[in-house]
Structure 1
Amino acid sequence: MAFREVNVNEVKEVLRVWLGVPGSRPPGLRTIAAHCGVDRKTARRYVEAAQAAGLQRTDGVEALDDGLIGAVIEAVRPARPIGHGHAWDQLLGFEDQIIAWVAGDGNHPPLTITKIETLLARQGCLVPYRTLHRFATERCGFGRKDTIVRVVDGDPGSECQIDFGYLGYLTDPETGRRRKVHALIFTAVYSRHMFVWLTYSQTLAAVIAGCEAAWAFFGGVFKVLIPDNLKPVVTDADAVNPRLSRGWTTPSTPGSTADPARIRSPKDKPRVERAVQYVRGNYWSGEEFTDLTEPSGQTSRVGRRRRDRARQRNPLQCSG
């Protein structure tokens, strides 16, 4: 059985409802459970523990002090001498096997937690998925190995990250054939405001057209632009001294500095990397477009919707 932490407010509310209103008929356990949003057996355990601690139905609400609530929680909380429950103890006997599954070998790739859960169940070890995931992460080397470093977003209007993302196919109304559709995505680092430019190709002309539309949308050009290593933009990719095409630097980015991301380094442009997934899943998928001009009219709404969601997560960093 999975362990659930005992909530102080939950215990107090159950006991308050159980005491009832003076002069009226006290409610039953089923009514108490429905009112407090807990299981009937849970409500019974709280009430029985409170009665064992000396609470009576004739007492007032003032009897629900910290001492009584503490005694109830101590009585109903499962015994966890090492900070873990019975499911964790079961997994300790399979620790070496889980480590091998997580690491993989020359014949088998590393297994997922879902597959490990299935294999353990075949051996009679039935544990909650969340407990298994936590056990594999803490003791068996599963999960992210890299250290996460938070990057400062900078000032409003200082940086914009640019990347191409493949979306799918669309019938070209001019030729009548199905063509691949790419999205040139611009993400303002500070506000997460986003602009999407759709194109059938990734030529220099398409990139410049997308940039001009983006600057009109944002109302100006950013101080620093971080594009991906697109061939029309970067003629010679280098981690220190990349060579930019003249067609990119002159007409499309006046007054700004370009700092291309390193090859195969998505961490250099994480804001727009996440935006590619958002555009593909929340902007393109499930829609029926007739040409590129139809979805292009929705880019401002998509950008504002994503910015508003980012503001809900972190309002202090999404105001510019």
Structure 2
Amino acid sequence: MPQHDVPEQQLHRREQVAGRRFDVADVVDVLQHWQAGRSDRQLSRSFGMGRNRVARITSAAETAGLTPGGAPLARQEWEQRVPELFRGRAVPRPGDGQDELSHVHDSIVAGLTASTVTTVWQRMHDEAGIHASLSTFRRYVRQNIRMVRPEDVTVRKEVTPPGEVAEVDYGRLGRWFDALDDRWRTVQAFVMTLAYSRMVFVQPVLSCDQSSWVAAHVAAFAFFGGVPAQIRLDNLKTGVLRADIYDPQLNRAYAELAVHSGTLLDPCRAGKPKDKPRVERNMPYVRDSFWSGRDFDRVRAMQDGAIRWCGGTAAHRPHGDLPGTVGEIFRRLEHPALRPLPADPFEIAHWATATVHPDCRVQVQRRFYSVPWTNVGKRVHVRVGEKLAHVYDGGTLIKTHLLRPGERHYLDLADYPEQKVAFLQRTPAWCRRRAAELGPAVQALVDELLAGPHPLACLRQAQGIVRLADVHPAAELDAACARALVADGSLRTVRNILALPRSAEETPHSSSAGAFLHGQQVLLTGTPS
């Protein structure tokens, strides 16, 4: 058939056959037996290879000047000659990469002194033309050069006793459309896993603040019907303020929960998910089995669905390490080992750090609380519970407020300096006390104003008289009040007296007009009628 009449697919097949690659190991085996004097037919039958393929291999060797029956070559010498005989077409057999890498062992050792395993493999693959895969290269390095590194070793932990450890963490579930607020929101999942039975508790939340974190723990203890002896947690700010494996600083509300429940909080190392592997492994399972493909109309329905899923689907799955399901092992072995729930319910409180402002108040969660004025400028700790708010200076309680529904401002005038409180109040008692300090006449006038049957009706006048001491000396005010007592004793009279010049106030009034000594007739003499 002419070349132009051959179908394109058949031509492509011919090109593939013509450019077929040879496995180095197969070629070496054929050439070693060919050099020993075996014919092409014998080689074809022994190796299960086509006679034409054997003929191409042996002809390439003869072209290179090799002859059967000549001086025998070692296998390593043949492995070095084969790539030259079939340049670009001889590749190592899969699994024979170890032999290929052994020839460049010294180069690998030299490269690893300055570069990583991946970098050395990439450079030798590009520059030296090695065909071993990266996994084969890593395996060769482990077995022949670096052996096993300490960081490559995984230590399997001992089986945790029942009721001993629970692992907790937050994990992202996904996006959820809130129909009430008409917007998309991110839903997080609080997950607590009991280490022995693998029993899991899940609570979807929209906020990851400390109140939600503590409330989720309380709900988890109620779901399990007991408290584990130890809780391993991540270094979340809702639980841990300062991450330190030897001396972690826990959130104060979270620490209160631990004391109330009788459990130990054990923060894990930062960036070490294997410290709490069971809850980390449960996160994808929760996201896939509980969350994916489901729709909820409100948060409460979401949380109720999570409780049903925990007691149903999650509890019915096989344990893996122990015979039986997760729920069976929990009910039979772990639940009896949990510590009993506290007799008194836990009060979920919010702790915050605030600065006392010049108005003697601190602000926490959009509420304002007054504290003693001597603490202005200090950083104090505020604990806001369900009924009471406590303010601490270090470990000392300095103020307590009784909370009332709907109220935002909690002011106690006793927290302010005495002179400031007196000025703000201006009560009748304060007016009398201040008047006594200004003088006896001021005190008498104020007592007269407030002595009537309706003292509050004259309270403004008494306050005005006392305030005159801000612009007039006390002696002048007392003298003016003494003169006003002779008259009507009002605030206006006291102001008018103080407004007069000192000369007019002290000199008696006299007229400069002449006296009528000759009588009225003489005065009017000569006046036109």
Tell me the distance in 1 between the aligned counterparts of 2:174 and 2:208: 14
3-state DSSP of counterpart to 2:320: helix
Which residue in 2 is equivalent to 1:278? Answer: 285
Which residue in 2 is equivalent to 1:206? Answer: 212
In the TM superposition, what is the alpha-carbon distance from 1:160 to its structure 2 partner?
A: 0.6
**Structure 1 residues 183 and 129: CA distance shift in structure 2, 3 A:** same
Q: Quick check: 1:216 aligned with 2:222?
A: yes
3-state DSSP of counterpart to 2:238: coil
3-state DSSP of counterpart to 1:250: helix
**Structure 1 residues 156 and 97: CA distance shift in structure 2, 3 A:** same
**Structure 1 residues 85 and 111: CA distance shift in structure 2, 3 A:** closer
Which residue in 1 is equivalent to 2:143? Answer: 138
In the TM superposition, what is the alpha-carbon distance from 1:188 to its structure 2 partner?
A: 0.5
Tell me the distance in 2 between the aligned counterparts of 1:261 and 1:179: 29
Which residue in 2 is equivalent to 1:54? Answer: none
Give CA deviations for 1:276-315 in whole Å, capped at 9, x if unaligned: 343345544x424334445531455357656665623444
Does the 8 Å CA contact 1:238/1:262 hold for their aligned counterparts?
Answer: yes
Matches within 5 A, 1:86-125: 86-93=96-103, 105=115, 111=118
Does the 8 Å CA contact 1:192/1:306 hold for their aligned counterparts?
Answer: no
Tell me the distance in 2 between the aligned counterparts of 1:304 and 1:104: 55
**Structure 1 residues 261 and 86: CA distance shift in structure 2, 3 A:** closer
Which residue in 1 is equivalent to 2:396? Answer: none
Matches within 5 A, 1:161-310: 161-251=167-257, 254-284=261-291, 286-290=292-296, 291-296=298-303, 297-299=305-307, 301=309
Does the 8 Å CA contact 1:162/1:184 hold for their aligned counterparts?
Answer: yes
Question: Larger Cα Rg: Structure 1 or Structure 2?
Answer: 2
3-state DSSP of counterpart to 1:312: coil
In the TM superposition, what is the alpha-carbon distance from 1:187 to its structure 2 partner?
A: 1.0
3-state DSSP of counterpart to 2:267: coil
Give CA deviations for 1:126-172 in whole Å, capped at 9, x if unaligned: 66887566435434659974232222233211111111122332222
Does the 8 Å CA contact 2:167/2:193 hold for their aligned counterparts?
Answer: yes
Amino acid at match of 1:160: A
3-state DSSP of counterpart to 1:311: coil
**Structure 1 residues 287 and 137: CA distance shift in structure 2, 3 A:** farther
RMSD over equivalenced CA pairs, Å: 4.3
Give CA deviations for 1:24-79 in whole Å, capped at 9, x if unaligned: xxxxxxxxxxxxxxxxxxxxx9xxxxxxxxxxxxxxxxxxxxxxxxxxxxxxxxxx
The normalised TM-score by structure 1 is 0.56
The normalised TM-score by structure 2 is 0.36
In the TM superposition, what is the alpha-carbon distance from 1:178 to its structure 2 partner?
A: 1.8
**Structure 1 residues 166 and 99: CA distance shift in structure 2, 3 A:** farther
Tell me the distance in 2 between the aligned counterparts of 1:311 and 1:103: 46
Q: Kindly, what percent of the aligned residue pairs are identical? A: 31
Tell me the distance in 2 between the aligned counterparts of 1:309 and 1:216: 22
In the TM superposition, what is the alpha-carbon distance from 1:96 to its structure 2 partner?
A: 6.2
Tell me which moved more, 179-188 or 162-171: 162-171
Structure with the bigger RCO (C-alpha within 8 Å, sep 6+) is 1
Which residue in 1 is equivalent to 2:319? Answer: 311
Give CA deviations for 1:181-239 in whole Å, capped at 9, x if unaligned: 21111011111111111111111221122112211221211111122222232234332
Which residue in 1 is equivalent to 2:376? Answer: none
Tell me the distance in 1 between the aligned counterparts of 2:201 and 2:185: 22
Does the 8 Å CA contact 1:229/1:261 hold for their aligned counterparts?
Answer: yes
3-state DSSP of counterpart to 2:231: strand
Which residue in 2 is equivalent to 1:41? Answer: none
Tell me the distance in 2 between the aligned counterparts of 1:170 and 1:96: 58
Tell me the distance in 2 between the aligned counterparts of 1:126 and 1:240: 49
**Structure 1 residues 141 and 180: CA distance shift in structure 2, 3 A:** farther
3-state DSSP of counterpart to 1:222: coil
Tell me the distance in 2 between the aligned counterparts of 1:229 and 1:219: 26
3-state DSSP of counterpart to 2:282: helix
Amino acid at match of 2:273: P
Which residue in 2 is equivalent to 1:14? Answer: none
Structure 1: runs of 5+ lacking an equivalent: 2-44, 46-83
Does the 8 Å CA contact 2:118/2:134 hold for their aligned counterparts?
Answer: no
Amino acid at match of 1:138: Q
Tell me which moved more, 259-268 or 221-230: 259-268
